[in-house]
């Protein structure tokens, strides 16, 4: 019966078996991007450093090709570099594809 079921389940609620405590608060500050890169510049730079072509990055992020080019230009300037190999090194990421400038 319902009253018997309620009597058995009385007490403080228990967390679901798969529930885990959050490791960080949702409003916790994020670590700063390398040398002042914005989050958009860092996303584009990270994909470029992994060997993606500008057009592929634009499609992945649903932005224009010009936006990708602008973010890369700004990232290069802020990091004091001039190419994708240097970008990969500056971000500490291995470069997978070397045929895209």
Judged against a pLDDT cut of 90, whether residue 34 lies above it is answered with: no
Res. 92 pLDDT band, cuts 50 70 90? confident
Who's near 49: CB < 8 A, 6+ residues apart? 84, 87, 88, 91, 93, 95
Give CATH for domain 35-96. 1.10.10.10
Distances (CA, A) of 24 to 15, 70, 75: 19, 33, 28
Q: Which residue has the higher pLDDT, 100 or 8?
A: 8
Q: Which residue has the higher pLDDT, 94 or 29?
A: 94
DSSP-derived 3-state class of residue 70? helix
Percentage above 70 pLDDT, the chain: 57
Q: Which residue has the higher pLDDT, 3 or 32?
A: 3
Average pLDDT of the chain to the nearest whole number: 79
CA gap 7, 24 in Å, rounded: 36
What's the mean pLDDT in 58-85?
A: 96
């Amino acid at each position: 019966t319902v009253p018997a079921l309620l009597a058995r389940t009385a007490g403080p609620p228990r967390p679901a078996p798969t529930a885990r405590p959050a490791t960080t608060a949702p409003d916790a500050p994020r670590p700063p991007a390398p040398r002042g890169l914005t989050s958009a510049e860092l996303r584009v730079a990270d994909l470029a450093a992994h060997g993606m072509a500008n057009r592929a990055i634009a499609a992945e992020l649903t932005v224009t090709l010009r936006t990708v080019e602008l973010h890369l230009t700004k990232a290069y300037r802020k990091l004091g570099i001039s190419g994708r190999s240097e970008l990969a090194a500056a971000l500490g990421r291995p470069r997978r594809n070397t045929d895209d400038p």
